[in-house]
Amino acid sequence: MAKAALLVVDVQNDFFPGGALPVPHADAMIPDLDRVISAFADAGLPVFFTRDWHPVNHCSFKALGGPWPPHCVQGTPGAEIHKSIPMPAGSQLVSKGDDPDRDAYSGFQGTDLADRLGKLGVTDVYIGGLAVEYCVRTTTKDALLDGFAAHVIVDCVGGLEVRKGDSAAALREMEDSGASTVTSSEVIALVGAQQ
Ligand code: VGL
Ligand code: ZN
């Protein structure tokens, strides 16, 4: 039997408008994402939140030769999960990117996420969050490599669009790797029907 889990990727203040590395219009997806989170919680299905959790001297920061402004520094307000995205009781947090010398976009890289999903008997992961070209893309591809079926919730992701078209290319790349794309309404109907 299929068992679903929800992976909410990096919905942290710094990735929203006003933050250090904002995804344009990221707040537009919050209502749909919140409905999906509630649907999983109501169905008793596991909900995981990944968070980018960098030390101040992280190698991805411009001052250290990386591509990004400082963002999601451990313990700062920018690293907190957005206050309009409630974490249901029992949801699990996965921190990544905490090694100063290693860039880590995927929620599976250097974490025990695969083990935690495996122990729960999860077969299918539904993925939403930020940013679609970086952490959502790499998390989705690693989920597939780890043997999970991966489904990207297209209206619950947003892209940085460093170059125009990056988000669309990322979605194509995930599909080419074997991920499916679904809408939040489809996921909510599916999860509701499993109860
Ligand atoms: C991310 C850029 C840098 C992400 C994290 O969450 O997609 N992007 N660090
Ligand atoms: Zn980062």
CATH of the domain at 14: 3.40.50.850
Question: At a CB cut-off of 8 Å and minimum separation 6, what does 129 contact?
Answer: 7, 8, 9, 10, 11, 33, 50, 135, 136, 156, 157
| Nearest alpha-carbon partner for 42 in 88, 1, 4, 83 | 88
Residue 96 annotated among the catalytic residues of the structure: yes
Residue 156 annotated among the catalytic residues of the structure: no
Structurally, the chain folds into a number of domains equal to 1
pLDDT digits (tens, 9 = 90+) for 54-77: 999 999 999 999 999 999 999 999
Q: Is the pLDDT assigned to residue 13 strictly greater than 90?
A: yes
Residue 119 annotated among the catalytic residues of the structure: no
Q: Which residue's CA is the closest to the ligand 1 atom numbered 6?
A: 135
32, 72, 96, 155: the catalytic one is 96
What's the whole-model pTM score? Answer: 0.97
The range of the structural domain enclosing residue 114 comes to 4-194
Which residues hold their Cβ within 5 A of ligand 2, which is an ion?
52
Residue 193, pLDDT score: 83
Residue 192, classed as helix, strand or coil, is helix
Tell me which residues have their CB closer than 6 angstroms to ligand 1: 10, 52, 60, 68, 105, 130-131, 134-135
Taking residues 159-169, what's their average pLDDT? 97
